[in-house]
Amino acid sequence: MPILSIDFLINGLASGAALALLCLGLTLTYMTTRVPNFAHATIAVVGAVVTLLLLDWVYIGLRGGAVYYTLYIVAPILSALIAGLLALTIYIAILRPLSKKGIGIIGLMIATFALDIIINNILTLILHLTPSKYIGKLIGASVKGYGVLVYIPILDVNIYLSRLLLPIIAVILTISLHLYMTRTKFGIAMRASIENPQLAKALGINVDLVYAISWFLSGSLAGLAGSFLAFEFPGINPAIAYLYIVSIFAGSILGGLSSMYGALAGGLVVGVSEVLIPVMIQNIYYTITGSIIDIIRYQKFISLLIIIIVLLVAPQGLAGVSWRNLLARVVRVG
Amino acid sequence: MVELPIILMELANMLVFIIVVLALNLMAGYAGIPNLGMALFVYIGAFAVAGLSVRFAIILVNILNPDFIEMMRVTPPYKYAVGESSILDIILFKVTDPAVNRHLVPELNSIIGDSIPLSIMILTFILASAIALGATLGLIVSFTAVRLREDYLAIVLLAFSEMLVQVFFAQVDWVAGGRYNTWALTPWPQKLSQSLGNLLPSGVKPELFIGLIVAIILAITTLIYTERIANSPMGRVLRAMRDDDLALTSYGRDIAKIRLKVMMVGSSIAALAGVVYVLSVQPVVKATDYTRVTWTFIPWAMMILGGIANNWGVIIGAVIVYIGRKLIEILAPPAFTTILSLIGVEVTGATIDIVKAVTVNILVGVIIILVLYLKPEGIVPEKPSKTLPRKTLNSLIEKFRGSSS
Amino acid sequence: MSLLTVEGLNAGYGKFHILFDISLNIEEKEILAIVGPNGSGKSTLLKAITGIADVYSGRITFKGSDITRLPPHVKARMGLAYLPQTNNVFTNLSVWENLKMAAYTLDESIARDRIEEVLSYYPMLRSRLGFKARSLSGGERQILALAMTLIRKPEIIMLDEPTANLAPIIAKDLLKKIQALREDLGKTIILVEQNAKAALEISDKALLLVSGRIEYSGFASKLLADTELSRKYLGLR
Ligand SMILES: Nc1ncnc2c1ncn2[C@@H]1O[C@H](COP(=O)(O)OP(=O)(O)O)[C@@H](O)[C@H]1O
Ligand SMILES: [Mg+2]
């Protein structure tokens, strides 16, 4: 048995891409408003639920036709929009007023912790009470079977379209975000406000608007990732967010919580590791002993390990590592 | 209408929450450690009574009666599950197997109940192991982030709690039952139960009564203890550190030490609360029941509502949230039934249960946010304490430096 | 009529009263040096004029109109520029991006012209346009900060210790550049300096602050010549 198969690689890549987008969003709001958003995973689940409802109410009825493929455009966009607006509302209606009243970081953090549970329970209620058109029971519904399978001749594998699209979209988004942040006046102003809000204000930059936009962006990225993840979750139960948030924090802490590129890299590493490491261990173990150990259900442990290692070894994360020095040293040694 | 045993059980349960909130207040309120991993520490106490003490008990019993484990191999119903396993195998892996656990625990209970010394030994083991596990976990978990900013500490605590309780303990079957539940020991002497049974009103189980007494004793002890810490020089240093960013930079190392100390103390108290919960309220222990919603989120709401860094305040908060939650659970279902049938949803018992839980959780969340917005100091605000002059603070810190190294 | 006057100013931060009864005035195209020991309130005075510190009483007028209570960004738009002691450029942004941010509120075409203007005035920056401000030397960074200030064509420029932490030669060069702002562009300058001698040499007027009170106010040359005061407070012989 090979240590890794091509499906698992693509699987890992998709999971890494989704987590990269989620870590990017979490890091973005942390950099601007300094709040670790404990509700971030649940906002992603909002995206998954929107996709599920869209499937159940509209798209399943269109199966077989060419229109069905628009699912992969309509669902992510709608999910991103709704999740983005939700995150924006959270910031404008709750976090900003609290912060203006002088509530500190811990208070704001607890507020997001409470919001996480509030939104999660509302989602649970929605999934329980919404009558389903096709799926039958929405809570815990697996929508994988409704995804489009694509055959790739060179690799000779069938792959879910969502898995193929996720890395591609993540790359496109990363490039556009990079261009936005470096080429547009408002993007540069966002970076300026993140580094030095006082100076930015003095120069006439509307820092409040920058913060609001960062929350909208963060929510949209989460909604988009959630929309694709809907096809990956074993079943859409909002409580998945309670574990998923740990992976998001792991990727963000690995990224250093201080740089968008760090967040993308951190998310990618954690997401890929969570999928591939258990499989690799399992396959190696099988090759050596000839028996199977079932460790995939402990895959989330990798996130905890990464958090521990990063905080003990390099609490600044990837963003804190001086890559130039490191490279210089490696080159000198080599 | 509501029977006495139920009221007593609710009382015990409320006391458990009071103990948890006092522990949380010590860590979060006084020391500024935003513990979002309370569920883990409560669970580890529950584990001490269930998965762990059963192993200790079977070893003890086997020492007194060397054939005990040997006999399990041949007597039904054990023999089907145990088979040819070695003694170590049985102690480590089989006692949590539901096929064994369901029979073994009642049998151990009756053996322990017959012997007062045995019962005392088991009880001591339970308390000692809960304290030791709580303190050790508190130390290990906070060690990674104790030198970092509070938000990192919160993330790490949450991560550990979710991973250990909901992934490790909930999935690894042999340690603590995993996907199945395990039963806890009731380590009370038979004689005590019998004589109490004659005194108590009918329907009130002696175990419940004893559990309640333990809960009362532990709650009072915790209150006195945390009040003393709060009013001690250490409490004043804790608050000074919590409020003073400057202290964070100039005393980083000492803060880390004191934080670790507080984490160990607070976590052991939470673990003891877990013990009391199992002994008096819920003798069937399953990791997935120890959710962050019940054991982290609700205690936080209680603390914030009552008044952070005020022990009496958080007790009031605990009572209000606990009773409010119960009232909703009792009074709301008829209303839910009406509303649900009005919007045309088929009403089943399961739906009502979900709507009930969801409503409580949403309300508790809303309370947290409203209190933060309207009255962040809570119902009973923190007692103003004179800020320490820097010189006094320095000398106090010197003292801790001396004592802890 | 003076360009800027301060009369009987009492200011500080919340309950910390720092400045007591400060008065000063500055005419167009003058250079005023504010000197004094560390912690005497020099920065606070600039912040009070800018509107960042709290003014308890007193009056600040600019071109004859009362601006005491106006918010900082309005004062900035009126032509009052304040260059803080630290964090006065965005270190993670390139030089060009910094200049662009300085021109944030201006129309695109005006912004382009103004950036072009300061680049011809400080050609050194042109060769660094793509570099992160973080990679500039201390002196280059201060020049970038000056350039960012100039983009908005202020009338008065208030500088808080621009030469702090600079090597002596570079500090001297920077002070020359500051003096040139008056000569070339006709700016009025208020200069807070640790290096009292160098500052007084390029200034017309001087204000000596000690513990939040005025100890001397008058010609810079006279303060420089006053052996008593300059030995006691400025560490000069
Ligand atoms: N934000 C602040 N809040 C309270 N006091 C401050 C603040 N900033 C400075 N101070 C105090 O004001 C006094 C004057 O400081 P400053 O104006 O910076 O002096 P200088 O610039 O002359 O060195 C000092 O005692 C300083 O501690
Ligand atoms: Mg100063």
Pick the residue whose CA is nearest to atom 26 on ligand 1.
Answer: C39
In the predicted model, what is the mean pLDDT of residues C126-132?
95
Within a domain: A306? no
Percent of chain A with pLDDT over 90: 70
d(CA C191, CA C29): 13
Indicate the pLDDT class of residue B395, thresholds 50, 70 and 90. low
The CA-CA-CA angle for residues A197, A201, A205, to 5°, reads 105
Check CB contact under 8 Å for A204 and C76: yes
Task: Please state whether the peptide bond connecting residue B189 to the residue before it is cis, i.e. omega within 30 degrees of 0.
Answer: no
d(CA B248, CA A173): 39
Residues B300 and B277 placed together within one structural domain of the fold: no
In the predicted model, what is the mean pLDDT of residues C158-184?
92
Q: Is the ipTM of this complex over 0.90?
A: yes
pLDDT at A224: 97
Residues C72 and C118 placed together within one structural domain of the fold: no
Residues B243 and B313 placed together within one structural domain of the fold: no
Contact, B238 vs B29, CB < 8 A?
no
β-pairing, C188-192 vs C205-210, is unpaired
Domain of residue B320, residue span:
291-385
Residues C130 and C204 placed together within one structural domain of the fold: no
Indicate the pLDDT class of residue C116, thresholds 50, 70 and 90. very high
CA A201 to chain centre: 31
Percent of chain B with pLDDT over 90: 51
Q: Which residues of B256-273 are buried (b: 16+ CB within 10 A; e: fewer)?
A: bbbbbbbbbbbbbbbbbb
Q: Which of A106, A115, A293 to mutate to test the interface with B (most CBs of B within 10 A)?
A: A106
Residues C29 and C64 placed together within one structural domain of the fold: yes
In the predicted model, what is the mean pLDDT of residues B29-36?
92
Residues B198 and B231 placed together within one structural domain of the fold: yes
Residues B21 and B148 placed together within one structural domain of the fold: yes
Mean pLDDT, rounded, of chain A: 92
Which residues, 6 or more positions from A206, have their beta carbon under 8 angstroms from its beta carbon? none
- Per the model's pLDDT, the better-predicted residue between B24 and A318 turns out to be B24
In the predicted model, what is the mean pLDDT of residues C8-22?
93
What separation, in Å, do the N-terminal and C-terminal C-alpha atoms of chain C show?
36
Give the tokens for residue A184: 């547009």
Domain of residue C93, residue span:
89-153
**Number of alpha helices (DSSP H) and beta strands (DSSP E) in chain B:** 21, 2
Quote the strand ranges of A44-135, DSSP E.
none
Within a domain: B322? yes
- Number of A:C CB contacts under 8 A? 46
Give the tokens for residue A212: 């609001």
Residues B345 and B282 placed together within one structural domain of the fold: no
Indicate the pLDDT class of residue B2, thresholds 50, 70 and 90. low
Indicate the pLDDT class of residue B404, thresholds 50, 70 and 90. very low
pLDDT at B235: 80
CATH classification of the domain holding C15? 3.40.50.300
| Structural domains counted in chain C | 2
Residues C148 and C183 placed together within one structural domain of the fold: no
Side-chain half-sphere CA neighbours of A219 within 13 A: 22
State yes or no: pLDDT of A245 exceeds 90: yes
Residues C21 and C113 placed together within one structural domain of the fold: no
Residue C188 C-alpha, separation from nearest chain A C-alpha, in angstroms: 20
Within a domain: B401? no
C217 DSSP β-pair partners: C207
Residue of A117, A124, A131 with shortest CB distance to B297? A117
State yes or no: pLDDT of A258 exceeds 80: yes
Chains C and B touch (3+ CB pairs under 8 A): no
Indicate the pLDDT class of residue C237, thresholds 50, 70 and 90. low
Within a domain: A216? yes
pLDDT at B138: 96
Within a domain: B12? yes
Within a domain: C109? yes
Within a domain: C172? no
User: B146-175: per-residue pLDDT in tens?
Assistant: 888 889 999 999 999 999 999 999 998 888
Residues B295 and B275 placed together within one structural domain of the fold: no
Contact, A255 vs A318, CB < 8 A?
yes
Residues C25 and C114 placed together within one structural domain of the fold: no
3-state SS, residue C2: coil
Residues B311 and B187 placed together within one structural domain of the fold: no
| Structural domains counted in chain B | 2
Within a domain: A154? yes
Within a domain: A304? no
- Per the model's pLDDT, the better-predicted residue between A4 and B364 turns out to be B364
pLDDT at B193: 84
Check CB contact under 8 Å for C104 and A196: no
| Structural domains counted in chain A | 1
pLDDT at B122: 94
Whether C16 is in the pocket of ligand 1, judged by its Cβ within 6 Å, is yes
pLDDT at C226: 87
Domain of residue A81, residue span:
6-238
**Residue B30 to residues B27, B39, B266: CA-CA distances in angstroms?**
6, 20, 11
State yes or no: pLDDT of A47 exceeds 50: yes
Contact, C35 vs C208, CB < 8 A?
yes
Within a domain: B398? no
User: B66-111: per-residue pLDDT in tens?
Assistant: 888 888 888 888 877 887 788 888 888 888 888 888 889 999 999 9
Residues C120 and C140 placed together within one structural domain of the fold: yes
Within a domain: A270? no
Check CB contact under 8 Å for A189 and C104: yes
Within a domain: B397? no
Residues B124 and B268 placed together within one structural domain of the fold: yes
Mean pLDDT, rounded, of chain B: 87
Within a domain: B309? yes
Residues C57 and C161 placed together within one structural domain of the fold: yes
Contact, A18 vs A208, CB < 8 A?
no
Residues C10 and C24 placed together within one structural domain of the fold: yes
State yes or no: pLDDT of B307 exceeds 80: yes
Residues C70 and C93 placed together within one structural domain of the fold: no
Check CB contact under 8 Å for A202 and C91: no
Within a domain: C84? no
**Which residue in A has a C-alpha nearest to residue C73's C-alpha?**
A202
pLDDT at B195: 85
pLDDT at B405: 37
Substitution candidate for ligand 1 out of C15, C16, C47, C190 with most atoms within 8 A of CB: C16
State yes or no: pLDDT of A184 exceeds 60: yes
d(CA A100, CA B80): 66
Within a domain: A90? yes
Place of tokens 């942004």: C93
pLDDT at B177: 86
User: B188-247: per-residue pLDDT in tens?
Assistant: 988 888 888 888 887 788 888 999 999 999 999 999 999 998 888 878 777 777 776 555
Check CB contact under 8 Å for A125 and B358: yes
Within a domain: A118? yes
Residues B281 and B317 placed together within one structural domain of the fold: no
Substitution candidate for ligand 1 out of C43, C49, C85 with most atoms within 8 A of CB: C43
Give the tokens for residue C2: 């003076």
DSSP letter, residue B74: T
Residues B142 and B179 placed together within one structural domain of the fold: yes
Within a domain: B49? yes
Give the tokens for residue B131: 């304290």
User: C199-217: per-residue pLDDT in tens?
Assistant: 999 999 999 999 999 999 9
Within a domain: B308? yes
The region of weakest confidence among A193-202, A323-332, B33-42 is A323-332
Within a domain: C111? yes
Check CB contact under 8 Å for B167 and A301: yes
In the predicted model, what is the mean pLDDT of residues B367-393?
80
Greatest Cα pair distance in chain A: 68
Residues C133 and C93 placed together within one structural domain of the fold: yes
Give the tokens for residue B23: 């522990």
3-state SS, residue B73: coil
State yes or no: pLDDT of A69 exceeds 80: yes
Q: Is B200 on the interface with A (CB under 8 A)?
A: no
**What's the C123 CA to ligand 1 centre distance in angstroms?**
36
In the predicted model, what is the mean pLDDT of residues B259-276?
95
Residues C65 and C55 placed together within one structural domain of the fold: yes
pLDDT at A48: 97
**What's the B245 CA to ligand 1 centre distance in angstroms?**
18
